C-alpha cells in the first residue's frame, strides 16, 4: 500500500485534496502519531446485569468471564415475571430485568415449607388433598379442607426466639372459602393471627409480639402472597405455624402453595427446601481474576466507575455493601449504603480508616439509584441520584487491588447488599 492510497481521505474535511496517482506537494507532512491514534477506551469492566450485556478488556464477554461466584446451595429468586428462577450451586444469581441479586446466608425455619402436603406438617381440624399440581415451577398445590371449625389448620413446628424477628411469606390461592388464615403461636403468652378475604389477610389478633411490614401481593393467575415480619416477645416452646381456609363451613377450602419463615427483619427471597437442609448459603460474588485486570490497566493509580442499585428497602439498620476492593478487611475501599440510606465510600489502609466520603443526606425513596465515584490519590469523589455529592483532595493512596467483592465487604461483617445491582462499570482514570 502506498502512502498516497493511505492518505486519500486526508484532510479530514473529506474532499480529495490531490489527484489520485499524484503525490501531494506537501507529502513530506506527517501528522504526529498521537493525533492518528484512536482514543483508548477507559472502560475496563462493564456489566449490564439487568440487560445481559458484558464488557471486559474492551471486548464483549460472557457472564462466566465477568464474575466468580461461590455458593454451595441452590438459590431461588423471584423475577420481574413473578416466576421463580432457580440458580444452581456456584451460579451467579443474575435476574433478567433486575440484575445481580446478592444475598447473605439465610436459613428457613420450616423443613418443607415449599410443600404443605409433606409429612412433617400435621392437621388440626382439617384434611388435605394433594392436587399434585406444580405452579411457578416449584410449588405444590395442597388443598386444605376445613372440618367445620374456624381454627382448622395445617401446622408445622418451629423454634422462635424472644426478640428475634422472623420474616414470613405465605403463598396461596383462594379456595371455595374465598378466605385465608395464617398464624404463629406457642406455649408462651404471645401469638399472631392474620385472616381475611383472599388477597387481603390482616392482623385480627396480635398478642405480645410485634407485627410489621405486612404486605399482601397479587402475583397473578390467582396466586397471592402475604408477607410480614413478626417479632415475638414470649413465644415459649411448642411453637408452630398454621395455615387454613378460615372457615367454619365443613368442606370449604384454601389452596396452599408454600410457607417460609426466616429469621430476618427484611423480606427474604424464597428458600428452596427441596434438599435435606433448608438454608440458602451466601452468594460470594467477585469480579473474575480482578488482580490481573487491575494490573493490566493500572487501576492502582486510580479508577472511577458507576453502579446502579435497585434499592428495595429504606429501613435496613445495618450498612449494605455495593462493592469492596482490596486485599483484606484492613486494606480495602468499600462503597456502601450506610445507616440512614446515605452513600459512603471508605478507604482503610493498615487497619485504619484513612478516608471517609459520605453524602450529607440519604436516599428518601426506593427505586434505581445511580452512584458515581472516583477513587484516586487527591481526586476522591462520590455522587448519587438525588443527593448532594462529596469530594476530597486528600492524599490517600489506593490500596493494593487483589480482590473485588460485589455485594459484600471483606471481614467478619460482610454486610451483604441483600439486593440487586442492575449495572456496574469500572474505568481507569489515567
Partner 1 sequence: MHIYTLKAESPAALAAMLDAAQAGKPRPFVTWDGGSPVFDGARIVYPVPETVAGEPQPDPETGEPVTPFEPTGLWLCEVRLREADAELAAMIEA
Of 399, 359, 358, nearest in space to 377 by CA: 399
* Other Cβ atoms within 10 Å of 342 Cβ, number: 18
Nearer to partner 1, 89 or 386 (CB): 89
Contacts for 167 with CB less than 8 Å, ≥ 6 apart: 227, 228, 229, 260, 261, 262, 263, 264, 265, 266, 267, 268
Inter-residue contact 166 to 261 (CB < 8 Å): yes
The piece of 15-23, 30-38, 172-180, 411-419 that touches partner 1 (CB under 8 A) is 411-419
Of 192, 311, 174, 204, nearest in space to 261 by CA: 192
End-to-end CA distance of the chain: 35
Q: What is the largest CA-CA distance in the chain?
A: 104
Nearer to partner 1, 50 or 265 (CB): 265
Nearer to partner 1, 103 or 139 (CB): 103
93, 99, 104, 407: which one binds partner 1 (CB under 8 A): 104
Nearer to partner 1, 184 or 308 (CB): 184
Of 351, 356, 321, 352, nearest in space to 338 by CA: 321
Answer yes or no whether residue 107 interacts with partner 1 by CB under 8 A: yes
What is the x/- site pattern for partner 1, positions 47-76, by CB under 8 A?
-----------------------xxxx---
The piece of 213-221, 233-241, 357-365, 389-397 that touches partner 1 (CB under 8 A) is 233-241
Q: How far is CA 33 from the centre of its chain?
A: 47
* Other Cβ atoms within 10 Å of 42 Cβ, number: 15
Answer yes or no whether residue 250 interacts with partner 1 by CB under 8 A: no
Nearer to partner 1, 159 or 301 (CB): 159
Distance CA 94, CA 87 (A): 9
**Which residues ranging from 170 to 209 are in contact with partner 1 (CB under 8 A)?**
183, 185-187, 191
> Helix, strand, or coil here: 86?
strand
Q: How far is the CB of 237 from partner 1 (least distance, A)?
A: 4
Distance CA 95, CA 85 (A): 8
Inter-residue contact 86 to 137 (CB < 8 Å): yes
Q: How far is the CB of 121 from partner 1 (least distance, A)?
A: 12
Inter-residue contact 215 to 227 (CB < 8 Å): yes
List strand residue ranges (DSSP E) for 252-330, in order.
253-262, 279-280, 284-287, 303-311, 320-328
Nearer to partner 1, 73 or 252 (CB): 73
What is the x/- site pattern for partner 1, positions 323-342, by CB under 8 A?
------x-------------
169, 231, 239, 247: which one binds partner 1 (CB under 8 A): 239
Answer yes or no whether residue 414 interacts with partner 1 by CB under 8 A: yes
Answer yes or no whether residue 86 interacts with partner 1 by CB under 8 A: no
Q: Is 119 exposed, middle or buried (0-12, 13-18, 19+ CB in 10 A)?
A: exposed
The piece of 31-39, 135-143, 230-238, 353-361 that touches partner 1 (CB under 8 A) is 230-238
138, 144, 155, 311: which one binds partner 1 (CB under 8 A): 155
Nearer to partner 1, 98 or 158 (CB): 158
Nearer to partner 1, 24 or 208 (CB): 208
Nearer to partner 1, 260 or 427 (CB): 260
97, 163, 220, 238: which one binds partner 1 (CB under 8 A): 238
Q: How far is the CB of 96 from partner 1 (least distance, A)?
A: 23
Inter-residue contact 172 to 254 (CB < 8 Å): yes
Report how many residues bind partner 1 under the rule CB under 8 A.
38
Q: How far is the CB of 100 from partner 1 (least distance, A)?
A: 15
C-alpha cell at 174: 383462594
C-alpha cell at 193: 393471627
Distance CA 234, CA 288 (A): 47
Radius of gyration of the chain (CA): 28
The piece of 27-35, 132-140, 147-155, 355-363 that touches partner 1 (CB under 8 A) is 147-155
2, 25, 221, 276: which one binds partner 1 (CB under 8 A): 276
How many residues comprise the chain? 430
125, 208, 362, 402: which one binds partner 1 (CB under 8 A): 125
What's the number of CA atoms in the CB half-sphere (13 Å) around residue 256? 33
Q: Read off φ and ψ for residue 4, nearest 5 degrees.
A: -65, -45
Nearer to partner 1, 175 or 244 (CB): 244
Q: What is the contact surface with partner 1 in residues (CB under 8 A)?
A: 70-73, 89-90, 104-105, 107, 124-125, 149, 151, 155, 157-159, 183, 185-187, 191, 236-240, 276-277, 279, 281-284, 329, 411-412, 414
Amino acid at each position: 500500500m502506498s502512502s498516497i492510497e493511505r492518505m486519500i481521505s486526508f484532510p479530514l474535511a473529506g474532499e480529495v485534496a490531490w489527484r489520485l496517482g499524484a503525490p501531494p506537494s506537501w507529502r513530506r507532512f506527517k501528522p504526529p502519531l498521537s493525533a492518528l491514534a484512536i482514543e483508548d477506551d477507559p472502560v475496563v469492566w462493564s456489566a449490564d446485569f439487568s440487560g445481559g450485556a458484558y464488557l471486559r478488556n474492551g471486548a464483549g464477554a460472557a457472564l462466566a468471564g465477568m464474575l466468580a461466584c461461590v455458593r454451595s446451595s441452590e438459590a431461588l429468586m423471584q423475577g420481574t415475571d413473578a416466576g421463580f428462577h432457580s440458580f444452581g450451586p456456584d451460579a451467579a444469581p443474575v435476574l433478567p430485568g433486575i440484575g445481580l441479586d446478592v444475598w447473605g446466608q439465610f436459613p428457613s425455619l420450616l423443613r418443607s415449607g415449599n410443600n404443605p402436603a409433606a409429612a412433617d406438617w400435621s392437621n388440626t381440624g382439617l384434611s388435605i388433598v394433594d392436587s399434585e399440581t406444580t405452579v411457578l415451577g416449584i410449588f405444590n398445590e395442597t388443598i386444605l379442607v376445613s372440618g367445620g371449625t374456624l381454627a382448622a389448620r395445617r401446622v408445622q413446628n418451629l423454634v422462635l426466639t424472644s426478640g428475634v424477628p422472623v420474616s414470613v411469606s405465605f403463598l396461596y390461592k383462594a379456595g371455595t372459602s374465598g378466605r385465608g388464615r395464617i398464624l404463629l403461636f406457642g406455649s408462651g403468652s404471645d401469638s399472631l393471627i392474620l385472616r381475611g378475604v383472599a388477597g387481603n389477610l390482616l392482623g385480627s389478633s396480635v398478642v405480645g409480639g410485634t407485627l410489621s411490614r405486612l404486605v399482601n401481593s397479587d402475583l397473578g393467575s390467582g396466586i397471592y402472597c402475604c408477607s410480614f415480619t413478626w417479632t415475638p416477645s414470649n413465644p415459649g416452646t411448642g411453637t408452630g405455624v398454621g395455615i387454613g381456609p378460615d372457615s367454619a363451613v365443613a368442606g370449604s377450602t384454601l389452596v396452599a402453595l408454600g410457607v417460609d419463615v426466616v429469621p430476618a427483619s427484611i423480606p427474604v427471597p424464597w428458600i428452596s427446601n427441596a434438599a435435606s437442609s433448608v438454608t440458602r448459603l451466601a452468594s460470594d460474588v467477585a469480579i473474575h481474576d480482578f488482580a490481573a485486570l487491575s494490573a493490566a490497566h493500572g487501576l492502582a493509580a486510580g479508577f472511577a466507575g458507576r453502579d446502579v442499585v435497585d434499592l428495595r428497602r429504606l429501613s435496613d439498620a445495618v450498612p449494605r455493601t455495593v462493592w469492596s476492593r482490596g486485599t483484606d478487611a484492613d486494606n480495602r475501599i468499600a462503597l456502601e449504603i450506610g445507616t440512614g440510606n446515605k452513600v459512603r465510600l471508605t478507604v482503610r489502609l493498615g487497619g485504619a480508616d484513612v478516608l471517609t466520603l459520605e453524602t450529607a443526606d440519604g436516599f428518601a425513596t426506593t427505586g434505581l439509584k445511580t452512584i458515581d465515584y472516583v477513587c484516586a490519590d487527591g481526586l476522591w469523589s462520590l455522587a448519587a441520584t438525588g443527593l448532594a455529592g462529596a469530594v476530597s483532595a486528600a492524599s490517600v493512596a489506593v490500596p493494593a487491588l487483589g480482590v473485588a467483592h460485589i455485594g459484600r465487604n471483606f471481614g467478619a461483617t460482610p454486610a451483604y447488599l441483600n439486593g440487586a445491582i442492575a449495572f456496574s462499570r469500572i474505568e481507569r482514570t489515567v
